[in-house]
Amino acid sequence: MPPKIKLLDQHCINQIAAGEVVERPLSVVKELIENAIDAGANKIEISVDRGGQSQIRVRDDGWGMAPEDLQLAVLPHATSKIAKIDDLNNLATLGFRGEALPSIAAISKLSIVSRRKEDAVGWEIRVEGGQVVSFTETGCAPGTDVTVSDLFYNTPARRKFLRSANTEFGVISDMVSRLALANPSISFSLRHSGTLVLNTSGRGNLLDTIAVVLGNEIARKMLPFEVEDRGIKVAGYIGSPELVRKSRNGVTFIVNGRFIRSQLLYQSLKEGYHTLIPAGTYPYAVVTLTMPPAFYDVNVHPSKLEIKFKDEKAIFTLVSNSVRNALLKARPVRSLQDNQTEYNPQVFHDYQKSQNSQNTTKLLSPRSRKIGEPNKFYDSSPTATNSWEQLKLLYKPAPGIARNEDVKINRELYIENQEQNQEQNQDKKREQVDFEELRALGQLFNTYILCTDDQDLYIIDQHAAHERIRYDDLRQQLNEKGVHSQMLLIPETVELTIQEEQIMLEYFEQLNQLGFIIENFGDRTYFLRAVPIAQNLSEPGKLLIKFLDEVLSKSIPPTQEGLMESWLDMIACRSALKGNAKLSLQDMDQLIQELGNRPNPLSCPHGRPTMISISKKELENKFNRT
């Protein structure tokens, strides 16, 4: 009987290795850009055709390679970034995997042209299907120029599963955007089928790069922060609480110049925004962490997108605290009118039609895009006679790859316009509210309190405001008296699902320390005899189940403090004044003043705004009084 185990030939081995490294065109782009960054590039040009399936080209002005290094670069397991296994513990580069270039070469037609600055000429090596077909001397600029053509031409099974060109380019543009945010000192340009989509200056200003990647309106509302503790520095920009979205696409984490994805960091960022933004929403943020390489491990994921921190608790605490302190310090009040204008398709098409007869430069498509969606250009654009107000109708400042130097609607013009608006509307939005100057005018729908300081009109959500007051009172009570139980007059019977019971058993000791007294009655049924910090609490059994659901929804196990925080949130909401409750003017004034005494009076514990404002100037504009 012949043996069932067979040794694979080298060609098959190379293709299997390539499949592990190169999943789609995105993998090629990421590997080539990271190589360019590691080579000390100041400028990186990326060009993609048909979503990367036809061609990918990455050109940099980095150190370049000597001819002997160029020949070694396409061989398996050849690298300049480590010499021994111990070097992995102090890896300062973005990559080290020696199989990247040979893996790409095994499933494409690869050309690498490279020259060092000190050399008179460069060299070009061509590889097809893993086989070197030529190695010649050539004239070229210093740096490295890599072209990958016909990706997966010899592995049709892999090519068949690629998505559309637009989809593939979408994920490429998302990755390039995040690499640009991670490296603001490098100029990035990205073209798709010849069209310039992204262009960053490389001047080292992170906020400028945010304006290019996320848009000027987003950049205007970003708050800077920076903190350093025990060798770890956390800095960057976070969006004000009014700047939220339903997905995480607006969040970028960077560790030592490397863009990463981290559930721990997502959770710590969310904790920093706790009670400041609504549940189910995510902020905009670009958070950079700088630390010694020995503090984390990049080898937990094949594409090096995920890392593991050695002291996760310290990282979690540092990020969440620094974010929260920056937000509480800013305390912006939400305006009744949001500056973000929804894109109107009809306005755009009418405008485009009127411009078709003119010889103009390209106009960036104003359709609202998420990070990663492909950008499109049209052969029509505003002329010098078009006012900014007309153009603003076409745009909804939104996340995406937008605003480059080729577009006439540039950042300087936008900032100049904003400064003019601010001069004309000095009282439109103020960062601080003087609650002592506010007086109640009346109640709207028995739910909203109308009040004024004779400069702005404020509308307060009475439930959200009272919820903030109740939460802070409960928190102060906890700080002063510590954790204690409140016995229920009549114990409540609670029936749990299997999953709920497992969670409760897992945290049973912690729940007991918080003040819960729970006794088993058999078959997933329990007696709830006492709960922590609760006065006149109705239906505590249902609240316990909701509490367990909160724990289940968290991807990272909550701490003792986190468990108590969730409980306080629920009690505050349950015991707060409800909407559709009639109040006297005296009650309203008292509520307003109590709200003003809170450290964070502008949002409820669940992140909803407690109040919005409309200025006198805005009212005058509505009535055409100006």
- Average the pLDDT over each of 204-208, 237-241, 334-338, 601-605 and give the range with the smallest value: 334-338
Report the DSSP pairing between strands 251-255 and 285-290: parallel
| pLDDT top residue among 374 and 435 | 435
| pLDDT top residue among 421 and 441 | 441
Q: How confident is the model at residue 32 (pLDDT cuts 50, 70, 90)?
A: very high
Residue the block writes with tokens 């070229």? 140
- What is the C-alpha separation between 27 and 149, in angstroms, rounded? 14
Q: What pLDDT is recorded for position 167? A: 82
Per the structure block, which two tokens stand in for 609? 């705004």
3-state SS of 234-294 is EEEEEECCCCEECCCCCEEEEECCEEECCHHHHHHHHHHCCCCCCCCCEECEEEEEECCHH
Q: Quick check: 589 pLDDT over 60?
A: yes
Handedness of CA 396, 399, 405, 410 (dihedral sign): positive
The architecture that CATH gives domain 434-626 is 2-Layer Sandwich (3.30)
- What is the C-alpha separation between 42 and 34, in angstroms, rounded? 13
- Average the pLDDT over each of 101-110, 219-228, 465-474, 564-573 and give the range with the smallest value: 564-573
- Average the pLDDT over each of 33-42, 89-98, 106-115, 213-222 and give the range with the smallest value: 89-98
CATH number of 10-162: 3.30.565.10
- What is the C-alpha separation between 459 and 52, in angstroms, rounded? 52
Give residue-wise pLDDT tens across range 349-390.
Answer: 333 344 344 333 333 333 333 333 333 322 223 334 333 333
Q: Can you give the residue ranges of every domain in the chain?
A: 10-162, 216-335, 345-424, 434-626
- What is the C-alpha separation between 438 and 451, in angstroms, rounded? 6
Cβ contacts of 52 within 8 Å, gap of 6 or more: 24, 25, 26, 28, 29, 151, 168, 169, 172
Query: If you average pLDDT over every residue of the chain, what do you get?
Result: 78
- What is the C-alpha separation between 281 and 236, in angstroms, rounded? 20
Q: How confident is the model at residue 185 (pLDDT cuts 50, 70, 90)?
A: very high
Q: What radius of gyration do the chain's Cα atoms show?
A: 29
Fold of domain 216-335? Ribosomal Protein S5; domain 2 (3.30.230)
Phi then psi dihedrals of residue 621, to 5 deg: -65, -40
- Asked, colleague to colleague, whether 10-162 and 434-626 share their fold, the answer is no
